[in-house]
């Protein structure tokens, strides 16, 4: 008997529609087909086609079969076969099949997290790292390192020495990789300090991913060349990238349920901080800036007092004020002042309240409130380079430059 006859036979049988569960008819048809065509339950196209017809038959009669054990058990077995034999992959099967077998790519948005479960991390300036646990570090790491990495996304930063002075690195490159998920394909975003402005989309040219229900699961929101937000709505997470002159910054906001999908976080800067040897004792630098620059053959571009005035005039406070003063003192670069201010305003807008109050409580000070022995200072600055005293004329020049900037 040919297939056409068989289908005709089946159609006649099915069209005899009475309001009853026709599971026996479906099963009989399937059984006969297998027999006539000598079909083995294997991952072949023909077997999958027969399975598909069978599942369609079952689906059509489903609403009359509530509580019918035979219906539920044979449907379960057939669906398992369907999955096991990867029937979806056959062109001839997946058209009609998609609607009867549950779609394989349903994008479910995570439930919104409570505010207490939100974490925030930022890297900016010389660079300064604001960690998930609220600690702030200033460091001089070089090379590429993950800032955050989990099942959903990776943010990698590359820090580079930019001024050919010791202990002075900045973020040269930011790479964001969004991992494949029911809600998105793989996406990559790259920002380079030496390019003009920030890219306004992913490297493949797209700016969003849309789900079946016409919601955007991922999108690049950009206001201008100097600020881009990568929003991952399905996991309530976002990445904020800024550019000020040649400097980049990146902030990450995400719920802990998303962040904790990677078991090993020891290499991620937001969790574990800068490598121990690259951390700069910022308080000691504020106490004895001259000692610090002498130790590392650097220059004091702007006196501390001038830097403090400039940084408070743009409204930076707490950790952002300290970072601003540090960067301005040691570089004289006003772009870093603006960067600190803008990263602070992102923090105020985005970071959860508990982290904000922790940062404020930590009382970041640039003052000499601890006039302690010089031992602590020399302990803080280790591995001094061969001394190379700073010509004071440079400081003077920097002040002039600084004043012309302000005006």
Ligand X SMILES: *[C@@H]1O[C@H](CO)[C@@H](O)[C@H](O)[C@H]1NC(C)=O
Which tokens hold the place of 272? 């574990």
What's the CA gap between 54 and 195, in Å, rounded?
58
Secondary structure tally for the chain: helices H, strands E? 15, 13
Pick from 63, 66, 213, 349 the residue near ligand X by CB under 6 A. 63
**Site residue total, ligand X (CB under 6 A):** 24
Which tokens hold the place of 309? 């005035």
Cβ distance to ligand X smaller for residue 106 or 203: 106
| Residue 64: how many other CB atoms lie within 10 Å | 15
Pick from 99, 206, 261, 312 the residue near ligand X by CB under 6 A. 99
Pick from 261, 370, 374, 388 the residue near ligand X by CB under 6 A. 370
Cβ distance to ligand X smaller for residue 56 or 117: 56
What's the CA gap between 109 and 90, in Å, rounded?
29
Cβ distance to ligand X smaller for residue 96 or 391: 96
What's the CA gap between 242 and 225, in Å, rounded?
9
Which residue minimizes CB distance to ligand X? 106
Q: What are phi and psi of 107, to 5 degrees?
A: -95, 115
Pick from 34, 37, 59, 166 the residue near ligand X by CB under 6 A. 59
Pick from 73, 92, 115, 135 the residue near ligand X by CB under 6 A. 135
SS3 at position 34: helix
What's the min distance (Å) between Cβ of 180 and ligand X? 10
Pick from 73, 115, 133, 388 the residue near ligand X by CB under 6 A. 133
DSSP secondary structure, 72-104, as one string: HHHHHHHHHHHHHTTGGGSHHHHHHHHHHSPPT
SS3 at position 339: helix
Under rule CB under 6 A, residue 108 binds ligand X: yes
| Sign (positive or negative) of CA dihedral 202, 207, 210, 215 | positive
What's the min distance (Å) between Cβ of 227 and ligand X? 28
> Among the candidate windows 17-25, 127-135, 246-254, 296-304, which touches ligand X by CB under 6 A?
127-135
What's the min distance (Å) between Cβ of 52 and ligand X? 9
Under rule CB under 6 A, residue 102 binds ligand X: yes
What's the CA gap between 54 and 23, in Å, rounded?
10
Cβ distance to ligand X smaller for residue 377 or 401: 377
> Among the candidate windows 73-81, 103-111, 249-257, 305-313, which touches ligand X by CB under 6 A?
103-111
Cβ distance to ligand X smaller for residue 186 or 388: 186
Q: What are phi and psi of 377, to 5 degrees?
A: -65, -50
Assess contact for 173 and 192: CB atoms under 8 A. yes
DSSP secondary structure, 350-375, as one string: HS-HHHHHHHHHT----S------HH
Pick from 313, 365, 368, 372 the residue near ligand X by CB under 6 A. 372
The site for ligand X (CB under 6 A) is made up of: 56, 59-60, 62-63, 96, 99-100, 102-106, 108, 131, 133-135, 181-182, 272-273, 370, 372
């Amino acid at each position: 008997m040919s297939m056409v006859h068989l289908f005709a036979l089946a159609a006649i049988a099915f069209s005899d529609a009475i309001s009853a569960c026709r599971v026996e008819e479906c099963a009989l048809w399937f059984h006969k087909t297998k027999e006539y065509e000598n079909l083995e339950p294997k991952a072949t196209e023909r077997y999958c086609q027969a399975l598909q017809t069978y599942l369609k038959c079952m689906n059509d009669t489903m609403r009359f079969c509530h509580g019918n054990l035979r219906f539920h058990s044979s449907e379960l077995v057939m669906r398992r076969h369907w999955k096991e034999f990867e029937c979806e992959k056959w062109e001839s099967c997946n058209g009609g099949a998609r609607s009867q077998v549950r779609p394989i790519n349903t994008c479910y948005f995570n439930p919104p997290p409570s505010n207490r479960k939100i974490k925030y991390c930022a890297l900016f300036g010389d660079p300064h790292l604001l960690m998930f646990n609220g600690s702030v570090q200033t460091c001089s790491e070089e090379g590429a390192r993950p800032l955050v990495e989990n099942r959903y996304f990776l943010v990698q930063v590359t820090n580079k020495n930019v001024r050919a002075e010791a202990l002075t690195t900045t973020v040269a490159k930011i790479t964001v990789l969004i991992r494949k998920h029911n809600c998105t394909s793989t996406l990559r975003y790259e920002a380079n300090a030496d390019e003009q402005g920030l890219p306004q989309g992913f490297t493949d040219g797209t700016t969003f991913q849309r789900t079946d229900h016409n919601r955007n699961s991922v999108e690049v929101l950009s206001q201008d060349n100097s600020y881009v937000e990568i929003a991952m709505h399905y996991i309530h997470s976002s990445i904020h990238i800024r550019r000020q002159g040649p400097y980049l910054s990146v902030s990450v906001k995400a719920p802990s349920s998303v962040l904790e999908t990677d078991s090993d976080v020891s290499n991620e800067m937001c969790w574990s901080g800068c490598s121990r040897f690259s951390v700069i004792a910022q308080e000691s630098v504020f106490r004895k800036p001259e000692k610090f620059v002498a130790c590392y053959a650097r220059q004091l571009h702007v006196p501390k007092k001038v830097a403090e005035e400039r940084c408070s005039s743009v409204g930076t406070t707490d950790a952002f004020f300290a970072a601003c003063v540090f960067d301005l003192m040691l570089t004289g670069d006003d772009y870093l002042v603006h960067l600190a201010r803008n990263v602070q305003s992102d923090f105020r807008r985005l970071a959860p309240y508990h982290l904000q109050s922790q940062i404020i409580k930590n009382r970041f000070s640039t003052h000499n409130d601890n006039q302690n022995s010089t031992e602590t200072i020399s302990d803080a600055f280790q591995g001094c380079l061969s001394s190379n005293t700073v010509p004071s004329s440079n400081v003077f020049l920097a002040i002039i430059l600084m004043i012309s900037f302000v005006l």
